Structure 1
Amino acid sequence: MYVSCRKTATSAAQHDAAISGREANTEANPTSGWTQTSYTYNIQTPWNLSQSSRYSYSGGEHRFWIYPDDECQYEGCSTGPRSELRMNNNYTSGRHQFEGDVYIVSGSKGTDIMQVFGGSTHATAIMLKIHSASGGTIKRYDNETLMTSAYNKWIHVNVQHDADNGRIYVYINNTLKGNYADRGNATHYFKCGVYNISGSRSETRWKNVKYWKNGPVGQ
Structure 2
Amino acid sequence: MVLLFILRLSLFQLMFHHTCAWDQPIDLTQAFTSLPLNHSNLVVQRPYDVPEDQRYSFIDGVHKLWVYSTDKSHTNTSKTDPRTEIRIHGYDYSSGVWQFEGYGYVPSGTSGVCIMQIFGAYPHATTLMLRVYNGSLSYYRTTVLMPYIYDRWFRLNVIHDVDASNVKVYIDECLLYETKGRGGTFHYFKFGVYSENNRSYYMESCWKGIKILKKCD
Which bracket does the TM-score occupy, shorter chain normalised?
Answer: 0.7 to 0.9
May I ask how many residue pairs the two structures share in their alignment?
191
Percent sequence identity is 35
The equivalences for 1:63-212 within 5 A come to 63-88=64-89, 89-132=91-134, 136-197=135-196, 198-212=199-213
CA distance in 1, matches of 2:172, 2:147: 12
* Partner deviation per Cα, 1:99-125 (whole Å, 9 max, x = no partner): 000010111111000000000121000
CA distance in 2, matches of 1:44, 1:169: 26
Give the superposition deviation at 1:28: 3.0
| 8 Å CA contact 2:70, 2:201 repeated in 1 | no
CA distance in 2, matches of 1:153, 1:77: 33
Q: Where do 4+ consecutive residues of structure 1 move more than 2 Å?
A: 23-29
Secondary structure, in 3 states, of the residue corresponding to 1:192?
strand
CA distance in 2, matches of 1:103, 1:33: 27
CA distance in 2, matches of 1:52, 1:170: 31
| 8 Å CA contact 1:46, 1:83 repeated in 2 | yes
Amino acid of the structure 2 residue aligned with 1:64: L
Task: Kindly indicate which of the two structures has a greater share of residues assigned to helix.
Answer: 2
* Partner deviation per Cα, 1:125-178 (whole Å, 9 max, x = no partner): 00000010xxx1000000111112210100110000001111111001110112
Amino acid of the structure 2 residue aligned with 1:94: G
| 8 Å CA contact 1:163, 1:185 repeated in 2 | no
Consecutive unaligned residues of structure 1, counting only runs of 5 or more, are 1-22
Quickly say closer, same or farther: Cα 1:24–1:33, change in 2 above 3 A.
Answer: farther
CA distance in 2, matches of 1:49, 1:182: 35
Amino acid of the structure 2 residue aligned with 1:110: G
Amino acid of the structure 1 residue aligned with 2:206: R
Secondary structure, in 3 states, of the residue corresponding to 2:53?
helix
Give the superposition deviation at 1:64: 0.4
Amino acid of the structure 2 residue aligned with 1:173: D
RMSD: 1.4
Give the superposition deviation at 1:182: 1.5
Secondary structure, in 3 states, of the residue corresponding to 1:62?
strand
